[in-house]
Amino acid sequence: MSTILPFHEAILSEIHDPATSDLLVLARGLGLRRIICTLLKIYDSPQNLVLLVNATPEEETEIGEELGIIGCRKPGLRIVGYEAGSSRDRQDLYKRGGLISVTSRILVVDMLQSDIPIDLITGIIVLHAEKVSPLHLVSFITRLYRERNTTGFLKAFTDQPEHITSGMSPLKNVMKELQLRRVSIYPRFHQTIKETLERRQADVVEIAQKLTDYMGEIHGAIVHCMNMILTDLRRVKDLDLEGLSLPAAYFSSFDHIVRKQLDPVWHKVGPTTKSLVRDLGVLRRLVSYLLTYDPLQFHAYCESLIAANNDPETTKAGNRSQWMLTDSANTIFELAKRRCFENVPVSQGSDKQVIDLVDDEDAWDAMYEAQGLNRKTEPAKSEKRPTWLPPGMQPVLEELPKWSLLAEILEEIEHEILRMDNISTHAAAHTLGTNTTLVMCSSTST
């Protein structure tokens, strides 16, 4: 069974009451999924109908697996997606009660068509509450829900508090759209959380990996383009970016800050400014993709940017990205290509130089003997060039430097485990998990 930490128990005791509706703002990395799963287990009953809304497919899978671990297996979390069948099938599913994860679009349709008994819904659990806005489907779901059900609960969760720290009253707007009156905020320095985490300090070792030469040049070119766009954006009178420097543009919240400032006057903003805001987001993602995508994926993304910019409709509308006409952009695209392949001159048959090595039989015999081969098992001299490879193209396929660093760390861990095994003289000295290595990634594309 999953371990519930003391601050998890404190949070659950505060928000588990079905008579209250709450917004929980939790610091990142403190086990929000475990809190949600424990809360879902409390309401897991055929007599209850609890809906999980705004969850990604990956989160649905993870929550379903964890619910199975803690005992919610029959039927557990059922998922209503685009392959869920007809409306009659969904009606039968809703009538059986239990825990159901449903997409916002399907839930809106079912509510409008009365395929789901809104008055019988025990409660709704909303993930990613920081994304809720007046135009978000969850806001519409909340209004439909409260029109016919005033006794059911609505509990919203977020572990990305940075998204509700910018703009005009962001927390107030989220609570207004979700019709909530209570909010629980648990930062990492909260007394209960601090006491729990300080019981056992972790030994943290940060390792920095240098970029390859090509990656370093691409990164420098992207930064140069971002500086150019920021300079142009600072000239826009409706934007106040004086307090923001280039490092702030690396984070996704920067797009949110710029858009929040322009939202009141978005209908007055010219196409040039809108294009600059869009281009800044593209370049910010380009920096992230440089570190996460392999060279082929990164090159394909760059090619898609070029194709989109050269599209006749884009040219006709005057929305072409000006940064793509600069020398820095040419550096980005050219080096992205070189990380995948190089152009080599195509040699003509008449120009090939023939080297006769038949007379040097002793040297060949010595080489075969060193390799454990004989003349009868002589390997093929050279593999033929693949027919699908265009002439004049030599694959390079530069490896991301983080993989070699990871391999070195894993090798070091293995040596450390062997060293500890040699030191240990009693079998009792071994404990479960001492030879287990867990590698965690920030995203599925890492």
| 214-224 confidence digits (pLDDT tens) | 999 999 999 99
Distance CA 395, CA 381 (A): 20
* Whole-number pLDDT of residue 420: 80
User: What total of structural domains would you count in the chain?
Assistant: 2
Distance CA 377, CA 372 (A): 10
| 4-31 confidence digits (pLDDT tens) | 899 999 999 999 999 999 999 999 989 9
**Contact assessment for residue 8 and residue 38, using Cβ atoms and an 8 Å cutoff:** yes
| 96-147 confidence digits (pLDDT tens) | 889 999 999 999 999 999 899 999 999 999 999 998 988 899 999 999 999 9
* Whole-number pLDDT of residue 317: 58
Closest CA to 69 of 33, 37, 100, 99: 37
If asked whether residues 16 and 135 sit together in one domain, one would say yes
Distances (CA, A) of 66 to 11, 70, 103, 123, 219: 19, 6, 20, 20, 40
If asked whether residues 184 and 122 sit together in one domain, one would say yes
| 358-371 confidence digits (pLDDT tens) | 555 666 666 666 66
**Contact assessment for residue 100 and residue 78, using Cβ atoms and an 8 Å cutoff:** yes
In a domain, 446, yes or no: no
If asked whether residues 279 and 188 sit together in one domain, one would say no
The whole domain housing 189 covers 6-197
Q: CATH no. for residue 173? A: 3.40.50.300
If asked whether residues 185 and 245 sit together in one domain, one would say no
Given a cut of 90, whether residue 265 has pLDDT beyond it is: no
What average pLDDT does the segment 377-389 reach? 62
In a domain, 189, yes or no: yes
Higher pLDDT, 309 or 392: 309
In a domain, 114, yes or no: yes
If asked whether residues 180 and 223 sit together in one domain, one would say no
Higher pLDDT, 426 or 295: 295
Going by pLDDT thresholds of 50, 70 and 90, the confidence category of residue 184 is very high
Given a cut of 70, whether residue 35 has pLDDT beyond it is: yes
* Whole-number pLDDT of residue 50: 94
If asked whether residues 251 and 171 sit together in one domain, one would say no
Q: Give pTM, 2 decimals.
A: 0.70
If asked whether residues 232 and 318 sit together in one domain, one would say yes
* Whole-number pLDDT of residue 245: 67
Q: Which among 167, 197, 227 is the end of a domain?
A: 197
In a domain, 83, yes or no: yes
If asked whether residues 129 and 228 sit together in one domain, one would say no
Phi, psi of 101 (to 5 degrees): -100, 125
Q: Which among 165, 197, 229 is the end of a domain?
A: 197
